[in-house]
Structure 1
Amino acid sequence: MYYELARSSWGPEEIEAIEEIVKKGFFTMGENVRKFEEAFAQKFGSRYAVMLNSGSSANLIGVAALFFRKNNPLQRGDEVIVPAISWATTYHPLQQYGLKLKFVDVELESLNMDVSQLEKALTPKTRMVVAVNILGNPCALDTLRDFCNRHGLILFEDNCESMGATLNNKQCGTFGDIGTFSFFFSHHISTMEGGIALTNDLETFHLMRSLRAHGWTRDIPADSPIFDKKDQDFFEAYRFILPGYNVRPLELSGAIGLRQLEKLDAMVETRRKNASLFQKLFQGDDRFILQRENGRSSWFAFTVILNPSKGLDRKKIMRALKDADIGYRIITGGNFLRHDAIKYYDYDIVGQIKNADIAHDWGFFVGNHPVDLSEQIQTFHTVLTRAAGGH
């Protein structure tokens, strides 16, 4: 494809890492995963990191861990405030653990949660807010952190699309009590499949490590706050204390992650250079609503919302992009309330969900990659503006 939605960021270093693991013949979670966890935590200024087989699994074990805390754990029926636009597995763990979702609209330009709705969404049963940084763009994390601190709420930060983004010189993914990241093929770094959860809390760290691997004690130190070690070593290695999962990463993914992490800063800067050109080309054209940067975006992709007031022919525009061999897709998962799965949820809607619908019906994104996309971006601008009526 001329301008694809996703492309590999690997070089010979990643292939070499795979070959080294294959030669060793040990493929499940091991030394390279541990080294990657330590390197990732240090890179992002967090105390603890737990690598998983996906960002979705990071959300799952992060939510699960909050139900097994000794003090003030989450309980079924508790309420959690969420934005109307995100990926499906931002929401699914919340439903699977019996939480009630309070959906609030997004800002049309940033595509992130409209924090002016927070007080309206708050009830005596509210226990948590899920912050989602959409497509590289930090949401109002400072406001959300302050809101949660004032009301004694948990802040869960889904940063799966926004590795390398910062707000007030602080890394996104580190504002929440738990922060999650994804290493899927199209994301800022890729370990084939993979994800990670960050926290500064020791109990949460140990809970997530246990939940990652069957709910057993084998990966937990004997002095852990989440269990008391018994003196029967024969059984202790197979002692199950939590209803866990098997969402462990491969050793291959840990080894690849170490190589990718070394490239992250340079790859994000290349994405930002591409974004500068994209913004310059569309500046002042009110037919198109672009994502307004908050803080420093890491520019996962380039979003465009066709201004509903301009009478543009969406089908004609989509057809022109397809004919030009330009890949495009819905913005993240669109308005989640519009998906079939919502029938399985316990939820309320706070105020009107207007902007998420506009993004769902009139928006799309094209790819951004850690290589120079000047030619592709110029072509995209030409094709889009012509199909929209030309300027």
Structure 2
Amino acid sequence: MFYELAAPSWGEEEIAAAKRVIDSTFTTMGAEVKAFEAEFAAYFGAKHGIMVNSGSSANLIATAALFYKKERPLQRGDEVIVPALSWATTYHPLQQYGLRLKFTDIDLQTLNMAPSLLEKALTPKTRAIVAVSILGNPAAMDVIRAFADKHGLYLIEDNCESMDAELNGKKCGTFGDLNTFSFFFSHHISTMEGGIVLTDDDELADLCRSMRAHGWTRDLPPDSSIYSRKSNDHYEAYRFILPGYNVRPLEIEAAIGREQLKKLPGFTAIRRKNLQLFQQLLGGDERFIIQKENGKSSAFSFTVILNPARNPDRNKVFKALGEADIGFRIITGGNFLRHDVLKHYDYEVVNGGAPNADIAHDYGFFVGNHPFDIEPQLRRLHDVLDHVCR
């Protein structure tokens, strides 16, 4: 395809790292995972990193950890504020743990949670916020963090789409009590599959470590606050304290991740250069609404919303993109309120609706960005859109 949605970012270094692990014959979670966790956490200035097998699993154990805190644990029936536009596994762990979701509309310009709706979403039962930075563009994390602090709410920052984005000089994925990242094939760095939770809280880190691997104590430090060691070491190695999962990563993924992490600053710089060209080509054109950058985007991809005021024919646009060999897809997961799975949820929509999320769902799409120059692809995209939208 001339303009792909996703492209590989591995080089010889990643292949050599994978081969090193295969040659060692030690493939399950071990020294490579531990090293990658430390290096990734250090890059973001976090105290703890807990690697898992996907960003979705990172969201799962982050949610689970808050239910097992010694003080002020979440409980079934508590309310959590979420944006209407995100990926499915932003929400599924919340439903699976019996939380009531309060959906807020998005800001149509940034595509992120509209912070003006936080007060309207707040009730005496509100206990947490899950904030998402969509496709590399920082949400109003400073405002959301301040709101959470003011009202004593937990904040999970789902940063799976926005690795290396920054807001006011602070990396996204460091504003929350728990922060999640994804290393899927198409994301900013790729370990095939994979994810991580970052936190500065010792208790939450240990809870995540235990939940990651069967709910046992094996991976916990001797001085962990979430359990007391007993004298029988034979028993301790297989002692279960939480109803956990097996969402452990593989050594090969971590070894690849260590090489990818070294390249991340360069990847981000190229993505941002591509973003500048995209903004030059489509910014200010009243036919299109493109994502307004908040802070410094890490430019996962490029969104285009056909201006509904001009009564556009999106099917005609999609046909032209297909004929031009340009890949495209729905923006993240679209308006989640439009999906069948909501019949299984306990939820409420703040203000009774999410019209901006509907516009993004009905008139929007995104095209890919990559850690290499895509000027010819972006110029063809512009030419196609300019022609078909006349």
TM score, norm. by length of structure 1: 0.99
Letter in 2 for 1:57: S
Work out the CA distance in 1 between the residues paired with 2:313 and 2:230. 69
Within the alignment, does 1:131 sit opposite 2:137 as a pair?
A: no
Other-structure match for 2:179: 179
Q: Find the aligned partners of 1:232 and 1:300 in 2 and give their Cα distance.
A: 50
Specify the alignment match of 2:316 in structure 1.
Answer: 316
Matched, 1:56 2:56: yes
The answer for the alignment partner of 1:374 in structure 2 is 375
Moved more, 338-347 or 276-285: 276-285
Which AA in structure 1 matches 2:68?
F
Residue 380 of structure 2 aligns to which amino acid in structure 1?
T
Checking the alignment, whether the CA contact within 8 Å between 2:52 and 2:194 is kept in structure 1 is yes
Separation in structure 2 between the aligned mates of residue 205 and residue 381 of structure 1, nearest angstrom? 46
Shift of 1:340: 0.6
Q: Does 1:248 align with 2:248?
A: yes
Match of 1:356 in 2: 357
Inter-partner Cα distance in structure 2 for 1:53 and 1:315: 37
In 1: Cα distance, 2:269 partner to 2:95 partner:
37
Within 1, Cα distance between the matches of 2:275 and 2:299?
7
Q: How many residues align?
A: 389
Q: How does 1:13-92 map to 2 (within 5 A)?
A: 13-92=13-92
The percentage of counterpart residues that share the same residue type is 64
Alpha-carbon distance in structure 2 between the residues aligned to 1:198 and 1:169: 18
Contact 2:283 2:290 in 1 (8 A): no
Task: Give the partner amino acid of 1:318.
Answer: F
Per-residue displacement from partner, 1:254-286 (whole Å, max 9, x unpaired)?
A: 100000000000000100000000000113210
C-alpha distance after superposition, 1:193-216 (max 9, x if no partner): 000000000000000000000000
> 2:219 & 2:282 partners in 1: Cα distance?
51
Q: 1:327 is matched with which residue?
A: 327
Specify the alignment match of 1:195 in structure 2.
195
> Offset of 1:222 from its aligned partner?
1.7
Q: Which residue of 1 aligns with 2:231?
A: 231
Task: Show the counterpart of 1:264.
Answer: 264
SS in 2 for 1:206: helix
Q: TM-score, normalising length from structure 2?
A: 0.99
Q: CA deviation at 1:251?
A: 0.1
Structure 2: how far apart are the matches of 1:370 and 1:280? 19
Letter in 1 for 2:238: Y
The structure 1 segments of at least 4 consecutive aligned residues displaced by more than 6 Å after TM superposition are none
Instruction: Provide the residue aligned with 2:206 in structure 1.
Output: 206
1:219-251 Cα deviation digits (max 9, x unpaired): 011211000101111111111000000000000
SS of the equivalent of 1:226 reads coil
Q: Distance in 2 between matches of 1:125 and 1:316?
A: 46
Cα pair 2:106 2:114 within 8 Å, conserved? yes
**2: CA distance, partners of 1:103 / 1:157:** 16
Q: Is the 8 A contact 2:6 2:370 kept in 1?
A: yes
Give the Å deviation of 1:28: 0.5
Matched to 2:26, the amino acid is F
State how far apart, in whole Å, the 1-side matches of 2:141 and 2:367 are.
25
Which amino acid in 2 is paired with 1:207? Answer: L
Once residues 234 and 314 of structure 1 are traced to their aligned partners in structure 2, the CA distance between those partners, rounded to angstroms, is 64
Q: Which residue of 2 aligns with 1:340?
A: 340
Distance 1:263 1:344 in 2: 41
Deviations 1:363-386 (A, max 9, x none): 000000000000000001001110
Letter in structure 2 aligned against 1:303: T
Q: Is the 8 A contact 2:133 2:161 kept in 1?
A: yes
AA matched with 2:230 = K
Q: Output the amino acid matched with 1:380.
A: L
Which amino acid counterpart does residue 358 of structure 2 have in structure 1?
A: D
CA distance in 2, matches of 1:276, 1:237: 53
Deviation by residue 1:99-131 (Cα, 9 ceiling, x = unmatched) = 000000000010000110110100000000111
Alpha-carbon distance in 1 for matches of 2:379, 2:122:
45
Q: What's the counterpart of residue 387 of structure 1?
A: 388
Question: How far apart in 2 are the matches of 1:384 and 1:14?
Answer: 37
Q: Partner of 1:102: helix, strand, or coil?
A: strand
The 5-angstrom pairing of residues 75-154 of structure 1 reads: 75-154=75-154
Separation in 1, partners of 2:70, 2:155: 18
Tell me, which stretches of 5 or more residues in structure 2 are unaligned? none
In the TM superposition, what is the alpha-carbon distance from 1:176 to its structure 2 partner? 0.4
